[in-house]
């Protein structure tokens, strides 16, 4: 049984309310931080813990915090990125919906550590009802003197606001999020300057994922060293994984980093194997942006070692035979899944969500989607597959923000590992109806023979 | 002062200079092309990705190369930085890719576009583009829109460089000009399609690198290479009054701001020489102006080549040869046939 730090009390009835949360030891960490620690000590604990950003990039949180510029007389901000829009990822929603106070406690502790007196939770528009839950929880915290002026008699003031976005994937990119929070069009900014120097309203700002901020609570509670004990190598602590797809038990799981992928998929404690006794075909391990891997490469690395769920474990082998932990959106696909159809769905998403600011992403995402649509319906040619490869290579690394990479990687990996399937669609041509997947994707009954 | 090496040429530049500005100081041979960057507009650049360069050494202190190509217009130089532009095959390929992306949804209606001949996208396409497209889907289309009674917006041609948005933001008083929608269907708009009642709104025509924003008083009047640019000035109480007149015969067909070597509005008295709408749209008589002399046009420009005269010379040459040859025999053109000064061929 893996250690649970964030979801320990998830099954306690009424944990959403302040009273029950406090009965389970809630806000004790805040008391400890405010009464017995200095802000620098908290930053040190986070550094010691080895906590890495849980939003996808995996940047060390303590290092990010220490980059924050601290000029005199300029306010600093902490912004929580709750714009969880990566297809396949729903861990933050689960956490905020059930234990909103762990996020709020994390926000207060982190804001104290960073010296911020105003903090924001930027939540995606589709999570409107979650925003209501958060607002209710924040109100409870204000009423109990945990927010506002002179928190717990420590002399520290903090105002916490929830801002609901309009529902754009791009606003999960930290600089686009800040633009949107300022009331502007959600276009990513050109970096540098990084938000740590000039972020919200031009002031130094730290943007962290929901799970990252929530993880600060157990780190401060038990100490960074204890947190660093959990996990493997540079992947310390626990991670929330949103498991979806053809699994017997999809859902949000808290795992200790370093868990073998095979155990995660097949053990009864976690996903309980593939639905209907079918074979695993492929896995997208960290949300739709990360490279897809075929079953043999997700279960074992290219060298035959068992693959582990950690930042390093999943990226072993580079993009040739590896992938990324990303945001932890674990999508499993069984043997009947069409990779081409799945890729088209992803590409359609990136086409729809491109902000249109820089040319490769604006034009390239739409182009890739159209080619995939063509191949999917039996009008493709073999040269279209090469063209797709060429287009993705001209998007990757050439754009302002990582959305371009996120659109290119799934295409590259699908062609790298499943080229035969594209060719199958192309060769079938107008007799596409002979391809097994055609019936499934078009919701037609399969012929009897 | 930091030293930077671009394509093997080292130059010392002031602190805070971007790679692109440093390259422009060296000269046009090493300067990366730009579609969205405009040195006269703050915060412009970074969008089109044509000016991508490879930084093979970050600085003297930290010689690691940058992992990805960077937008030279928004990246500041560091002491000891080594940049590869034209010398990097990787960058040339990336740039060709960007040109292809810019052109996939561009209507390529150069034969009927007023910008043809002075279009930056045309130049870029000639230099880095391919002769045929790999895009075989319908191109996106928008309705033509009027921005006031003097400017037309033809969104099909737009490459979303944001230059006009920045101009409306920084040069005119109140901003009613921006970008609507997202991604592939993003479009420039005045929000409610109403006119921009502003004396300097016409400058968006000058900053537009393509034919998306055109001068309605000049639309379909003439190809630019048939007109003759002349620098002139007048006393104007709103702007600097230093302009370029485009003549065809004795008629002034259009008035624009003066452009510098990089195709940007040139400085006048240390300030950017933006011109007002009165000078641009209403003063189209020679008597309104004091003529300064013929404009300097790059000899590589189609305007300078004056194809109109070349074609006249060519026709004369063909006619002469035809007359001398037996009926039905094909005319072969000798070297120099396109040179307007060459009367012998």
Total domains in chain B come to: 4
Interior/surface letters B282-315, b for 16+ CB within 10 angstroms, e for the rest: ebbeeeebeeeeebebeeebbbebbbbebeebbe
Average pLDDT (A312-327) is: 93
**Residue B344 banded pLDDT, cuts 50, 70, 90:** very low
Residue span of the structural domain in which B331 resides? 306-345
A38: contact with B, CB 8 A cutoff: no
Same domain, yes or no: B284 and B235 = yes
Quote the CA–CA distance of A207 and A205 in Å, as a whole number.
Answer: 6
pLDDT for the residue numbered B296: 81
Same domain, yes or no: A212 and A249 = no
Q: Which of B66, B140, B183, B188 is best to mutate for the A interface (most A CBs within 10 A)?
A: B183
The answer to whether the CB atoms of B97 and A398 lie below 8 A apart is yes
Closest CA to A137 of A160, A115, A111: A160
pLDDT for the residue numbered B195: 54
From chain B, pick out residues whose CB is under 8 angstroms from the CB of A397: 67-69
Asked, for residue A446, whether it belongs to a domain, the answer is: no
Closest CA to A89 of A290, A243, A260: A243
Same domain, yes or no: A40 and A149 = yes
Q: Of A229, A260, A293, at which residue does a domain stop?
A: A229
Same domain, yes or no: A73 and A208 = yes
A27 has pLDDT over 90: yes
Please give the structure tokens belonging to residue A314: 């999943």
Closest CA to A272 of A296, A299, A243: A243
pLDDT digits (tens, 9 = 90+) for B283-292: 999 999 999 9
* Domain CATH code at residue A78: 3.40.50.11540
Same domain, yes or no: B13 and B94 = yes
**Residue B249 banded pLDDT, cuts 50, 70, 90:** confident
Q: Which residues contact B217 (CB under 8 A, 6 or more apart)?
A: B150, B254, B281, B284
ipTM strictly over 0.95?
Answer: no
Same domain, yes or no: A111 and A208 = yes
Average pLDDT (B12-30) is: 95
Tell me how crowded residue B197 is: count the other CB atoms within 10 A of its CB: 12
Residue span of the structural domain in which A383 resides? 339-441
Q: What are phi and psi of A50, to 5 degrees?
A: 70, 15
A155 has pLDDT over 80: yes
pLDDT for the residue numbered A83: 95
Same domain, yes or no: A346 and A437 = yes
**Residue B175 banded pLDDT, cuts 50, 70, 90:** low
Tell me how crowded residue B27 is: count the other CB atoms within 10 A of its CB: 11
Asked, for residue A2, whether it belongs to a domain, the answer is: no
Q: What is the mean pLDDT of chain A?
A: 93
Contact A311, A320 (CB under 8 A): no
The answer to whether the CB atoms of A398 and B159 lie below 8 A apart is no
Q: Of A334, A358, A377, at which residue does a domain stop?
A: A334
* Domain CATH code at residue B89: 3.10.20.740
Contact B284, B227 (CB under 8 A): no
Total domains in chain A come to: 3
Q: Of A174, A207, A229, at which residue does a domain stop?
A: A229
Nearest residue of B to residue A192 by CA position? Answer: B75
Same domain, yes or no: A360 and A423 = yes
Same domain, yes or no: A131 and A203 = yes
Asked, for residue A433, whether it belongs to a domain, the answer is: yes
Same domain, yes or no: A365 and A413 = yes
**Residue B79 banded pLDDT, cuts 50, 70, 90:** very high
A438 has pLDDT over 70: no
Same domain, yes or no: A177 and A281 = no
pLDDT for the residue numbered A126: 93
Quote the CA–CA distance of B74 and B293 in Å, as a whole number.
Answer: 36
> Quick one: CA dihedral A376, A381, A385, A388, positive or negative?
negative
Proportion of chain A above pLDDT 90, given as a percent: 88
Report the range of poorest mean pLDDT among A189-198, B21-30, B95-104, B310-319: B310-319
* Domain CATH code at residue A393: 1.20.1440.230
A268 Cα distance to chain centroid? 24
Same domain, yes or no: A257 and A324 = yes
Q: Which of A354, A359, A401 is best to mutate for the B interface (most B CBs within 10 A)?
A: A359
Quote the CA–CA distance of A173 and B232 in Å, as a whole number.
Answer: 49
């Amino acid at each position: 049984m893996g250690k649970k730090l964030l979801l320990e009390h998830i099954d306690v009835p009424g944990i959403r309310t302040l009273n029950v949360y406090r009965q389970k030891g809630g806000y004790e960490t805040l008391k400890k931080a405010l009464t017995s620690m200095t802000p620098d000590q908290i930053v040190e604990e986070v550094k010691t813990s080895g906590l890495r950003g849980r939003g996808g990039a995996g940047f060390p949180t303590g290092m990010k915090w220490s980059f924050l510029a601290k000029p005199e007389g300029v306010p600093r901000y902490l912004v929580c990125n709750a714009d969880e829009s990566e297809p396949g990822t729903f861990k933050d929603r689960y956490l905020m919906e059930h234990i909103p106070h762990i996020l709020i406690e994390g926000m207060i502790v982190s804001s104290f550590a960073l010296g911020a007196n105003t903090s924001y939770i930027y939540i995606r528009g589709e999570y409107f009802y979650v925003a209501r839950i958060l607002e209710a929880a924040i109100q409870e915290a204000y009423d109990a003197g945990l927010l506002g002026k002179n928190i717990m008699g420590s002399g520290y003031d903090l105002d916490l606001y929830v801002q609901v976005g309009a529902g754009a994937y791009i606003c999960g990119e930290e600089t686009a999020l800040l633009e949107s929070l300022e009331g502007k069009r959600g276009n990513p900014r050109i970096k540098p300057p990084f938000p740590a120097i000039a972020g919200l309203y031009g002031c130094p700002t730290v943007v962290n994922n929901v799970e990252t901020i929530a993880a600060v609570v157990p780190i401060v509670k038990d100490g960074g060293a204890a947190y660093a004990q959990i996990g493997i190598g540079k992947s310390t602590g626990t991670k929330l994984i949103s498991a979806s797809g053809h699994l017997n038990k999809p859902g949000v799981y808290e795992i200790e980093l370093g868990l073998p992928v095979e155990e995660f998929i097949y053990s009864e404690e976690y996903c309980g194997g593939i639905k209907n006794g079918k074979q695993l075909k492929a896995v997208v391990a960290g949300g739709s942006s990360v490279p897809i891997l075929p079953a043999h490469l997700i279960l074992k690395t290219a060298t035959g070692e068992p693959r582990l769920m950690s930042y390093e474990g999943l990226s072993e082998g580079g993009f040739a035979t590896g992938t990324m932990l990303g945001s932890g959106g674990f999508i499993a696909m069984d043997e009947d899944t069409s990779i081409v159809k799945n890729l088209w769905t992803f590409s359609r998403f990136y086409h729809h969500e491109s902000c249109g600011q820089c040319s490769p992403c604006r034009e390239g995402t739409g182009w890739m989607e159209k080619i995939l649509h063509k191949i999917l319906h039996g009008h493709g040619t073999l040269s279209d597959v090469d063209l797709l490869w060429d287009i993705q290579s001209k998007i990757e690394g050439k754009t302002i923000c990582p959305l371009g990479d996120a659109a290119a990687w799934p295409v590259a990996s699908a062609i790298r590992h499943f080229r035969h399937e594209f060719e199958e669609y192309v060769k079938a041509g107008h007799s596409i109806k002979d391809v097994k997947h055609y019936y499934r994707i078009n919701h037609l009954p399969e012929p009897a023979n | 002062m930091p030293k930077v090496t671009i394509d093997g040429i080292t130059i010392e530049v002031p602190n805070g200079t971007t790679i692109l500005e440093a390259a422009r100081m060296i000269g046009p041979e090493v300067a990366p092309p730009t579609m969205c960057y405009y040195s006269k507009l703050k915060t412009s650049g970074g969008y089109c990705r044509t000016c991508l360069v490879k930084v093979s050494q970050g600085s003297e202190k930290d010689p690691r190369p940058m992992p990805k190509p960077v937008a030279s217009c928004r990246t500041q130089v560091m002491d000891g930085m080594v940049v590869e532009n034209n010398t990097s095959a990787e960058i040339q390929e990336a740039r060709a890719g960007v040109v292809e992306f810019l052109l996939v949804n561009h209507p390529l209606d150069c034969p009927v576009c007023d910008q043809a001949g002075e279009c930056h996208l045309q130049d870029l396409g000639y230099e880095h583009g391919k002769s045929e497209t790999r895009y075989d889907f319908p191109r996106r289309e928008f309705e033509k829109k009027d921005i006031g009674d003097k400017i037309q917006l033809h969104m099909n041609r737009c490459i979303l460089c944001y230059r006009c948005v920045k101009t409306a933001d920084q040069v005119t008083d109140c901003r009613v000009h921006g970008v609507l929608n997202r991604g592939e269907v993003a479009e420039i708009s005045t929000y409610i399609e109403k006119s921009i009642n502003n004396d300097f709104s016409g400058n968006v025509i000058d900053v537009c690198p393509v034919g998306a924003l055109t001068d309605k008083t000049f639309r379909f009047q003439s190809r630019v290479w048939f007109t003759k640019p002349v620098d002139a000035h007048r006393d104007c109480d709103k702007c600097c009054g230093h302009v370029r007149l485009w003549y065809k015969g004795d008629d002034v067909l259009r008035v624009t701001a003066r452009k510098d070597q990089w195709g940007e509005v040139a400085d006048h008295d240390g300030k950017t020489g933006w011109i007002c709408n009165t000078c641009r749209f209403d003063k189209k008589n020679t008597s309104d102006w004091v003529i300064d002399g013929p404009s300097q046009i790059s000899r590589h420009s189609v305007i300078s080549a004056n194809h109109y005269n070349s074609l006249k010379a060519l026709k004369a040459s063909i006619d002469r040869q035809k007359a001398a040859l037996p009926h039905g025999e094909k005319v072969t053109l000798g070297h120099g046939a396109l040179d307007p000064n060459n009367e012998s061929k």
